[in-house]
Every structure is written in structure tokens, then in C-alpha cells.
Amino acid sequence: MSGTAFLEELQRIIRQRLADTPEGSYTAKLAAQGMLKVAQKLGEEGVELALAAAAQDRARVTAEAADLVYHLLLLLAMRELTLADVVAELEQRHRAA
């Protein structure tokens, strides 16, 4: 599965977990704590990624970037947005530059 195909699949899984709220699901549990908690978690992951990058720890950068992307996808899903919406915004900015 390609990178973008996996991200699309991950978005689908996240949306499904938000809809079904299966017991034991980290996604459902975090989302149940509300947008403020999800936003806080996204911020924490961003800081952890920045610290890993500053420490020049390639493995940690990869792991923290994965955490950041996951929590970003969760936040977007909770706002009924997708990566396609983000890409469209980036494309629009690029055309305007």
C-alpha cells in the first residue's frame, strides 16, 4: 500500500472509530475527551517532534512525526475535514504565490 493510500485508509479507520466508539479504542477514548484534549495532544506531539529534530535523533523524529500525523488526522476528522482539504489549501496557496 502506498503512503498516500495508507493515509487515506487511516483516515477511514479514524472516522469509523469515531462513529462506532469501540471499547478499548485509543481513538474513541481520546475523542470522547473533546476537541480541547485532542488539540492539546496534537500540540504535545508537535513539541516532541521538534525536540527530537533538535536532538538529531532520526528514529525518534520518525516516530514523533507519525504520532503528529495520526493526531492531526484525528483532529481533522473531528472537524469533518480530511487531508484532501489540507492539500487543496496548500495548492491554493502555491498558485497564489
CATH of the domain at 41: 1.10.287.1080
**Computed from CA positions of residues 20, 26, 29, 33, in that sequence, does the dihedral angle turn out positive or negative?**
negative
pTM for this predicted structure: 0.93
- List CB contacts of 9: < 8 A, sequence separation 6 or more: 1
DSSP-assigned letter for residue 80:
T
Confidence band (pLDDT; 50, 70, 90) for 2? confident
Q: Is 25 helix (H, G, I), strand (E, B) or coil?
A: coil
Look at the chain and report how many structural domains it folds into: 1
What are the pLDDT digits (tens) for 7-60?
999 999 999 999 999 999 999 999 999 999 999 999 999 999 999 999 999 999
More confident residue, 4 or 32: 32
Domain range for residue 74?
Answer: 3-96
The pLDDT of residue 41 = 98
Task: State how far the alpha carbon of 90 is from the alpha carbons of 6, 17, 58, in Å.
Answer: 20, 28, 26
The pLDDT of residue 97 = 84
Taking residues 66-91, what's their average pLDDT? 97
Degrees, nearest 5: CA angle 31-50-57? 115
Asked if the model's pLDDT at residue 3 lies above 80, the reply is: no
The pLDDT of residue 67 = 99
